[in-house]
Chain A
Amino acid sequence: MATPHEEHTHAQRVSFYAKTLWVLMVLLVLTVAAGFVKMPDWLGIAVALTIAVSKATIVILNFMHVRFSSKLAWLFAGAGFFWLIIMFAFAFADYASRHWEPEQGW
């Protein structure tokens, strides 16, 4: 006695979730490997964050079903991370630019 609404769930095939896990595992290996490569600090941060953001995106799209969700869910999900960036960017701008000030006289 399935009612119409019951059929409209986000459930995917098992392979969808399994493949997602495999990709995440590969990215995990990359993460750890990158940690052992000697590189300048700023590059290390960039690489680490890029991989982490990729992992997070995959979890959000696939495991959290945002890929199949309404635009509103996308908007809410995006807004949180965007706001985080605002906080980082402006606070960091202060610290990073403090030493730009001319030492003596204009």
Chain B
Amino acid sequence: MATITAQTGTERVNYLNVRTTVASWLLTLDHKRIGILYLLGITFFFLLGSIAAAFIRLELSTPKGDLLSSDTYNKMFTLHGVIMIFLFLIPSIPASFGNFVLPMMIGARDVAFPRLNLLSWYFFMIGGLLAVIATVKGGIDTGWTFYTPYSSAFAKGEVSLAIIGVFLVGFSSIFTGINFLVTIHKMRAPGMTWFRLPLFVWAMYATSLIQVLGTPVVAITLLLVAVERSFGIGIFDPNRGGDPILFQHLFWFYSHPAVYIMILPAMGVISEVIATFSRRRVFGYHFVAFSSLAIAIIGFLVWGHHMFTTGQSIYAGIVFSFLTFLVAIPSAIKTFNWMATIWKGRVHWDAPMVYALGFLGLFVIGGLTGLHLASLATNVHLTDTYFVVAHFHYVMVGGAIMGYLAALHYWWPKMTGKMYPQSWAKLAALLVFVGFNLTFFPQFILGYMGMPRRYHSYPEEWWALNLLSSAGSSVLAVGYLLPAIYLTWSLKYGRIAEKNPWGARGLEWELVDTLPHPHNFERVPIVTRPAYDYAHPEEPTAIFPAPRPAYVGGGGKDG
């Protein structure tokens, strides 16, 4: 039987052209197509969330609340938060790129449960749709945090509908997590031992742990809010014997680890990109791998740092504060290791690497400012100010979205068979970096000076910084718009990409064609080298065995 060879043009069967009906897409079981479906959905929701952001920054460009009424402004930042967190950041890298490359990276033909994968996408889209409908029907103004008793007893609007939407999206996340955990445990090719895995896989594993362990708690908590709203039961309403702090405990038990769902995959991408474009194995591979797990586990023990000023016991606060400092350590370890990888590498500054560099700078700032918030005393001053807003945007946008863009630019040729214009891509990366800093750095200062978050008007003395921030956001917007344009352009007019345009190591580059075959590999490969083996370029990471009668899937002695 002919092996899959790289051929130009579209004569070769690939995952895009094997069947082209709408049904073949909507009923696909191919992880690559599901990844693309997610990519489209995520992009759509990012657009919606960005529009909300635009309104926010527009309103804040003048001190008076003159563009939107207070209620509408509340709905705007709620919409921005709910969409960006639940419908964009949480699924972003795992559901799109994780789905696409994870099986290839480990030498598998698909994920463990392809039908669950498709179901997960439907839950995502339907949940997202419900959230959009809730918005169209008037929206919600509770903030993405749904704090009680406002959300459960007083808020008007489509809270319950939005909660159902988030609930469904949560299950989408859980199913993806289950799928990836089992895939990574059970479907690695022979020879693919744990410590030969690309670090992206370690990151996806850690992320999946959080998705499975954390999401159900926020699911039941939000369900209780909906029940309280619908049946008048006072679970979190102090007027009826309830405790709003209980809501916060249960809510943040998930929502803090959730931020690690957002950042760990981006860190995984950065490991891949930095290794490839430094032509070096990631420095301290084991440290980086274990740090991913450490972040996932310790990340479950720090949620009280969102509640220092709520009346939570001060002793609990001390413990949470200490553990929050602790969780910063593995992130720092990773950052040092990435820098050490670049330090002695032969660096190629292609577009994905430029985004990765942007990640490093912005994530460091975001991470360090987290320490200001972790410290009990300073937290009292900074809580609910723009300092917090700046901090989490630095890590979630400067970190996670930069990682997402890096992934997009890195795996684009593999997914589409086309290459985009490098110079435009680098320009976009620069614009994102500059625009981002212009937008969010002033917010650190504003927060320190006392500007509260979630307010649409502010004293005149803060006008200049707010105006700067809003101006910066327009630069950022251009930076985001550019990839939308040149990437779409490349689909039709881009140069045809070869199998391994970056000269990277890894199964998805060495063994899988650009525009992969529906089954990725004709036969399961046997892995013979560790990841990132740039020191031995003449040895392939994995080989296809000569056609044998049979063998078993899994890592082990044959390596």
Contact = CB atoms under 8 A, between A and B. Distances in A.
Chains A and B touch each other in the complex, with CB atoms below 8 Å apart: yes
A95 B310 CA distance: 12
A91 B246 CA distance: 8
Nearest to B310: A94
B253 interface: yes
A97 B315 contact: yes
A83 B301 CA distance: 10
A100 B316 contact: no
B314 A90 contact: no
A85 B194 CA distance: 28
A90 B213 contact: no
Interface residues of B, number: 20
A79 interface: yes
Given A72-B185, A83-B213, A90 B304 contact: yes
A80 B300 CA distance: 13
A98 interface: yes
B434 to A, nearest CB: 41
Interface string B294-307: 00000011011000
B186 to A, nearest CB: 9
Contacts of B185: 72
Interface string B238-266: 00000001100110010000000000000
Contacts of A96: 313
Contacts of A86: 300-301
A95 B313 contact: yes
B304 A94 contact: yes
Contacts of A95: 313
B551 to A, nearest CB: 15
A49 B255 CA distance: 29
A97 B313 CA distance: 6
A91 B217 CA distance: 13
B183 to A, nearest CB: 13
Nearest to A99: B313
Given A91-B249, A93-B316, A93-B319, A79 B213 contact: yes
Nearest to A96: B313
B300 A100 contact: no
A98 B313 contact: yes
Nearest to B312: A94
Q: Please list the 3 inter-chain residue pairs (A to B) with the smallest Cβ-Cβ separation, ordered nearest first.
A: A94-B316, A97-B313, A98-B313
Given A87-B217, A94-B312, 18 more contacts: A80-B213, A83-B213, A86-B301, A87-B253, A90-B301, A90-B304, A90-B316, A90-B320, A91-B250, A93-B313, A93-B315, A94-B313, A95-B313, A96-B313, A98-B312, A98-B313, A101-B314, A101-B315
19 contacts: A80-B213, A83-B213, A90-B301, A90-B303, A90-B316, A93-B315, A93-B316, A93-B319, A94-B245, A94-B304, A94-B313, A95-B313, A96-B313, A97-B313, A97-B316, A98-B312, A98-B313, A100-B313, A101-B315
